[in-house]
Chains A and B, each alone.
Chain A
Amino acid sequence: GESVGLHLPTLSVQEGDNSIINCAYSNSASDYFIWYKQESGKGPQFIIDIRSNMDKRQGQRVTVLLNKTVKHLSLQIAATQPGDSAVYFCAENGRGSTLGRLYFGRGTQLTVWP
């Protein structure tokens, strides 16, 4: 089955610094990827997505980079704020699998220090 994982389970950054959260995926057929943010005790919140025909996509203070050669994507958060502290998940769709399914990684806990 598909496998989506993260390089680092925890990441601590100083307020104002940039954060980079990494994600490796195993299904080379995946053509769609999503990043979610989950605050403690809450449901995941959509941040940004990217299709496999793109290498980079930018949102408000966030950028997702996709490297299909090494099956890796990253989420960059600019000027990290205390409110960014949360667990961040990447997910892939695993193209060719059941329509509409997403496969989630374990997540990275981001902690922002003042």
Chain B
Amino acid sequence: DGGITQSPKYLFRKEGQNVTLSCEQNLNHDAMYWYRQDPGQGLRLIYYSQIVNDFQKGDIAEGYSVSREKKESFPLTVTSAQKNPTAFYLCASKEDRIQYFGAGTRLSVL
């Protein structure tokens, strides 16, 4: 069953804690993306990666970090420097021009 898998579905962060959101795809796509979605808002780009071992900052990268050690995986770390992390996080991968999305991770602050 091919697709993009995000985990966990729900995540809670304590103050000062770093948390990592997982994104795995078995579609053999080169490009992957992380977006943040706030209520009533569109998607804002955090980081993207066009190829393994390479990634670029998007529009709201401050307080986030990523890695791309494998083609299939693009984890996002929300660091303690991100003061307002509560949001719905979406991962996507791209084939031709179309981006395909995972089911998302909802992050809340305890």
Contact = CB atoms under 8 A, between A and B. Distances in A.
Interface string B16-45: 000000000000000100000000111111
Given A41-B104, A101-B48, A46 B98 contact: yes
A79 B48 CA distance: 38
Interface in A1-42: 1, 4, 9, 32, 34, 36, 41-42
A41 B101 CA distance: 13
B48 A49 contact: no
Contacts, number: 52
Interface residues of B, number: 25
B68 interface: no
Contact of A32 (B41, B97, B102): B97
Q: Is the interface of A mostly helix, strand, loop or mixed?
A: loop
Contact of A49 (B41, B56, B90, B98): B98
Nearest to B58: A101
In which size bucket is the chain A interface?
20 to 34
B94 to A, nearest CB: 6
A89 B43 contact: yes
